[in-house]
Structure 1
Amino acid sequence: MEDRDSRRWGQKGTAGATFAGLLEFEHVSKRFGRTAAVQDVSLTLEPGEIACLLGPSGCGKTTLLRIAAGIERPDSGRLLFDGQEMAGPSRFVPPEKRNIGLMFQDFALFPHLSIIDNVAFGLKNLPREEALKIARHALERVGLARYAANYPHHLSGGEQQRVALARAVVPRPQVMLMDEPFSGLDQRLRESVRAETLTLLRETRASCLLVTHDPVEAMGLADRIFLMRQGNLVQSGTPEQLYRHPADAAAARFFSDTNEVKGLVQGSAVVTPLGRFPLPRGGNGREALVLIRPQGLKRAAEGEGIEGLVTEARFQGDDVKCTVLFNGLEEPLTALIHSRSAPSRGNAAWFRIDPEHVFVFDSATSQPIS
């Protein structure tokens, strides 16, 4: 079945368009026993926007999605859809009346229904012939029309994922909710299915809120990212904003590996064994935490920059992952160097630090020093 998954999907331009919805969370909170799953979260999904709820397991992102779907009720706060209250102190609208498409990581296909009947399941208000025509059209779009008469157990995981996507979009929902929809696919298949899903979502013009724990996936899919941690909304913005301007040290660590170096604020810079890093404002005596992404350590010409001893060098294709010891540091740092210019293990080499990959935080609060 793997060769079927690797084929291109159906022709573009066949997805039905709809009017995108505006989804708003206003000070939403939800507890399960003594555990606060979501705490006073406010966010807005704009019409036609593709946004990701991003964070580690247990941070509250799936709970927010279930509140949007109507599967859970908030303990406080409100959920609004195009300005109308869907859940709140005075009203609760059941899931089937919200014009929201749902797609979860286990696909939830009906094993006793054929593929085309699975896709047509949400079109019961239409005559059967019309519903089957629309369902077949959706299967063509995801490249599975010839398996319409098959059953879910006949298909691979990637094919089942596409069927679930087709079923979710055929009712033309104004908002699509997707919970880790690609987590069960292998890496190669995940990338291709993810790209085609993004294309289909753009064609339908539905607003989409997608849950993921993968920052690379979020940056590749989202117009905007909502970063969650321990039930709280930590930061929101475009992928570039969150990557280049993390709200705190934990946010910086979440988006990539980091090297951590301690320093001391002196005047308008942080002084470390690797050199001085400028600050927007001056100060004295504060301890600082400097985070440097591995790609921020660049190879320099001999005699320029900082000398270090390469204790390990692992080839990774385009890059070589180097472990480097520098004078004044107790722990080695990790550097990602292009394979054409990477040093060899056991040799000394010179490095410079790209300031775009350097973040300075207060050691006590983990907040940016400004």
Structure 2
Amino acid sequence: MRSAELSLKDQPESRRWGTRGTAGATFAGQLTFEHVSRRFGRTAAVEDVSFTLKPGEIACLLGPSGCGKTTLLRLAAGIDKPDSGRVLFDGQEMAGPSRFVPPEKRNIGLMFQDFALFPHLPIIGNVAFGLNALPRKEAYRIALHALERVGLAHYAQSYPHSLSGGEQQRVALARALVPRPQVLLMDEPFSGLDQRLRGSVRAETLTLLRETRASCLLVTHDPVEAMGLADRILLMRQGRLIQAGTPEELYRAPVDAAAARFFSDTDEICGRVSHGNVMTALGAFPCPERVKGPDALVLIRPQGIRRAEGGQGVEGLITDTRFQGDDVKCSIIFKGLEEPLNALLESRAAPQRGETGLFRIDPDHVFVFETASPPPM
């Protein structure tokens, strides 16, 4: 242990999070849910969920509080058991009708929302905790290397209470990765960080996950976070898996109105279906085949309302403006609509309150659904 302590003193105080290319790689595992359900009394926390986390993939379980995301994580970790269905790891049943493997027997790493660091252990002891099968000196050597990777080697002998929230998050990440799990489960790992830190810590976490090549299943309620981290997003609602796909697929082709609302603000107007189009006060938009009725619900993202050029567009009156830096949020009333719509316009070209102007609608930001749409998520 003496040699490890000496090496700690030699660590430069200026070392920062993000020393790239030094994280140990692992053999990525495959995690599969087959028709998994879990009930608590009469409440279905998870209902008939099936998907596979591929080796080396980073997937995000996305949805509002209470939709079943954390329950799925607990089932994967072995902290809870499914009422029906199976959880498999590399094709081997971990939980199901015929078998249950306890958490300590699964090569799965867990990172909790509150970091769950041991207050009585120094930072290096926290990181080495999962290496109790190794000799103490070897465990501390590996833990020190992990702390170097997250830029915290100089805090190795400090205690958790002396670290900031961002530093504690990095310690928890190092502890989760140091046993080289084949699958890493992360439950809202960035929710405790302030907005200024969140982006940089997310970016460095993604870099580290790519280096270790572990499969990762991450829970979040933040669509921006999910789109920035995930290879694939699994959108949950009321215990069910509603839609799965790449971030671009879910953003550009939401499965229903509630999914579209979850990824961004929307303006909503009604239209009439006629000959393959939806006719509205803002013009005609292509109507997808899934919309069968005479009426349709049209959702427009604020960034899809733009200033028209060349004298072609729909006239609108600016009733309010709110400066937001690069953009100005404008309320615009259009003829034929009872309520104003919100638009995000570039601040340099934004009109003033009381002005009229011509506007066009970008069809890439328009979504048409049945009027009987699901409730907001």
Change (3 A) 1:70 1:344: same
Shift of 1:366: 5.7
User: SS of 1:178's equivalent?
Assistant: strand
User: SS of 2:348's equivalent?
Assistant: coil
Counterpart of 2:109?
101
Change (3 A) 1:22 1:319: same
Q: Which moved more, 1:269-278 or 1:210-219?
A: 269-278
Shift of 1:288: 0.2
Matched, 1:45 2:53: yes
Matched, 1:32 2:17: no
Counterpart of 2:17?
9
Deviations 1:50-73 (A, max 9, x none): 000000000001000000000110
Distance across 2 between alignment mates of 1:290 and 1:7: 52
Aligned residues between the structures: 362
Shift of 1:190: 0.5
User: SS of 2:86's equivalent?
Assistant: strand
The within-5 A match list for 1:62-101 is 62-101=70-109
Q: Give the alignment partner of residue 22 of structure 1, picking from 18, 22, 30.
A: 30
Counterpart of 1:310?
318
Change (3 A) 1:181 1:282: closer
Percent identity, aligned pairs only, is 78
Counterpart of 1:360?
368
Distance across 1 between alignment mates of 2:142 and 2:372: 58
Matched, 1:232 2:240: yes
Shift of 1:282: 11
Counterpart of 2:284?
276
User: SS of 1:340's equivalent?
Assistant: helix
Distance across 1 between alignment mates of 2:336 and 2:374: 23
Shift of 1:345: 1.2
Distance across 2 between alignment mates of 1:271 and 1:43: 38
Distance across 2 between alignment mates of 1:345 and 1:138: 55
Matched, 1:244 2:252: yes
Matched, 1:338 2:335: no
Distance across 1 between alignment mates of 2:319 and 2:140: 63
Deviations 1:165-203 (A, max 9, x none): 000000000000000000000111000000000000000
Does the aligned pair in 2 maintain the 1:266–1:284 contact within 8 Å? Answer: no
Distance across 2 between alignment mates of 1:282 and 1:76: 32
Matched, 1:214 2:222: yes
Deviations 1:63-92 (A, max 9, x none): 000000001100000000000000000100
Change (3 A) 1:24 1:282: closer
Counterpart of 1:3?
none
TM-score of the aligned structures, taking structure 2 as reference length? 0.94
Does the aligned pair in 2 maintain the 1:267–1:282 contact within 8 Å? Answer: no
Letter in 2 for 1:36: A
Q: Give the alignment partner of residue 357 of structure 2, picking from 342, 349, 356.
A: 349
Does the aligned pair in 2 maintain the 1:309–1:348 contact within 8 Å? Answer: yes
Counterpart of 1:173?
181
Shift of 1:313: 1.1
The within-5 A match list for 1:195-210 is 195-210=203-218
Q: Which moved more, 1:72-81 or 1:8-17?
A: 8-17
Change (3 A) 1:98 1:350: same
Deviations 1:238-287 (A, max 9, x none): 00000011000100000000000100101111111111112255998611
Distance across 1 between alignment mates of 2:338 and 2:227: 34
Distance across 2 between alignment mates of 1:40 and 1:319: 43
Distance across 2 between alignment mates of 1:325 and 1:41: 43
Distance across 2 between alignment mates of 1:233 and 1:318: 36
Distance across 2 between alignment mates of 1:216 and 1:282: 28
Distance across 2 between alignment mates of 1:208 and 1:113: 27
Matched, 1:134 2:142: yes
Change (3 A) 1:92 1:290: same
Does the aligned pair in 2 maintain the 1:302–1:349 contact within 8 Å? Answer: no
Does the aligned pair in 2 maintain the 1:37–1:59 contact within 8 Å? Answer: yes
Distance across 2 between alignment mates of 1:364 and 1:282: 12
TM-score of the aligned structures, taking structure 1 as reference length? 0.95
* Stretches (4+) displaced over 4 A: 280-285
Letter in 2 for 1:316: Q
Deviations 1:309-359 (A, max 9, x none): 111111111111111111111111000011111111111121100000000
Distance across 2 between alignment mates of 1:278 and 1:233: 28
RMSD across aligned positions (CA):
1.6
Does the aligned pair in 1 maintain the 2:290–2:369 contact within 8 Å? Answer: no
- Unaligned 5+ residue runs, structure 1? 1-5
- Unaligned 5+ residue runs, structure 2? 1-13
Distance across 2 between alignment mates of 1:244 and 1:10: 33
